[in-house]
Structure 1
Amino acid sequence: MQHFFVTPDQVEKPYIYIEGSDVNHMKNVLRMRAGEKLEISDGDNRKYVCQVCDYVEGRAQLEILEERELDTELPSQIWLFQGLPKSDKMELVVQKAVELGAYAVVPVAAKRSVVKLDGPKAEKKVKRWNEIAKSAAKQAGRGIIPEVKSVCSFDAALKAAGSLDVILFPYELAEGMDYTRKVIEEIQPGQSVGIFIGPEGGFEREEEEKALEAGARVITLGRRILRTETAPLMVLSILGYHLEP
């Protein structure tokens, strides 16, 4: 069954109205006709089973057949602060992070980030990443579409993470898996968590020191060196296993 997202204001019970590019996708690509069923998520953890009624004035009118609350979200908001990687690795990170339950992704221009994004180029990339997040959210049956935020500096990322309950800072020079296990086990459902992942080459010592000053918990992910696109998926998987009800 096809799955689309809407905003709560598009739900006018007993109908839901699809707008924008999704209308063209439904009508001309999927060729959905009156009577065909589809699933709708309203971005507020509610899912609807609907059927197509008609296409009127550039909108698709859907009749609600069934409504239920979604339970696909983790009990904690997990923010991924990802150091900008080279090539198209960020696309993979966004896709898999959304599948694994991340609440939001923040691209971070760390000191060792080779890729430099600003202005129109950055806006174009962020738009593309949000499209990937939307597609991944559909595939995973998420109740929300996690947002990919604008590219920011490391200092701005730390400031943004300041309101979170726990900040995890995996660092290749950190030691002691016992400490890592202890930190993870102390995280409780309902707590918000930030994960900082460095770009290729990792974080600089100065960035680690700033993170410590901001209250981050510097942890190790083991004795092996993980690629920048692998490390966030490992941490998200561990947190998902720990927090999933």
Structure 2
Amino acid sequence: MRTPAAMIVGIVLGPCGLILNLTSTLAPNWRDVSRIPDKSSDIIQHQGIWDICEETQSIHETTCNIEDSLNYFSQLPVQVSKGLMPSALAVLVLGLVVASLGVRCWTETPHFLLAGLGGLSLFISGLLSLIAISWYNHELYNLPVPSGSTLQVGYCLVLGYLGSCLEIIGGISLTISFSQCYKECKLKKAAANYNYPPAKQQDLATSTTVASSFDNKDFEMYNRTPTPRSYTNALDVLEDERASKYSYRSRPPCDSDL
């Protein structure tokens, strides 16, 4: 069967969110501090949750491992972000593995329960990273900074917001598989309630799984009765009629018209 569109959306947006959140977690650019007193005006300090770097714009030189003289890393939003962002990445990787096993594009039908569990993991991961990004953004101007300097939002927050939203959307798309899993369980339970032999019940369960994996149109084509051999004819009885359509001579009607 074709992979459902909801699964495709989830399995595509999940890795995109992983790349964006991984960059947001590791890059030291959650906020930018410029116009720092006692320093050159072309120096911009990039502060992240793991490191602080200073960039000299005139010579395009960046120096990292800057000393934290204002106890920036000891602040609660930074500490929470250090815990939530790696946890969100771990849950996301686990969710992608489970979702990949559930989608199983190389088999006839996917495993809807695994796909739904993978989508739930993606959704939780997106919420964890969104909480960390939102809290840090809310406390951005309350974190310690040299007096008289200027603060700006770093690109890591933008990537974090975007990656979290992609994970949440992808997780919701994959959790739609739970509804299909419920339908399959309901059909199997209904088939098991009848007093059929065990072999017949197995055939009914298989047929319900196949039926649920097709759309109505595809299912009708799947169960279409083949044309009896008595109605087949290798000769094209309308060949002369089509030829006369493009000629000026009129011909007597062929047998098909009768």
Structure 1 or 2: larger helix share?
A: 2
* TM bin (shorter chain): under 0.3
Structure 1 or 2: larger strand share?
A: 1
TM-score by length of 1: 0.20
In our comparison, the structure showing a higher alpha carbon Rg is 2
TM-score by length of 2: 0.20
Which structure ranks higher in relative contact order (CA pairs < 8 Å, sequence separation ≥ 6)? Answer: 2
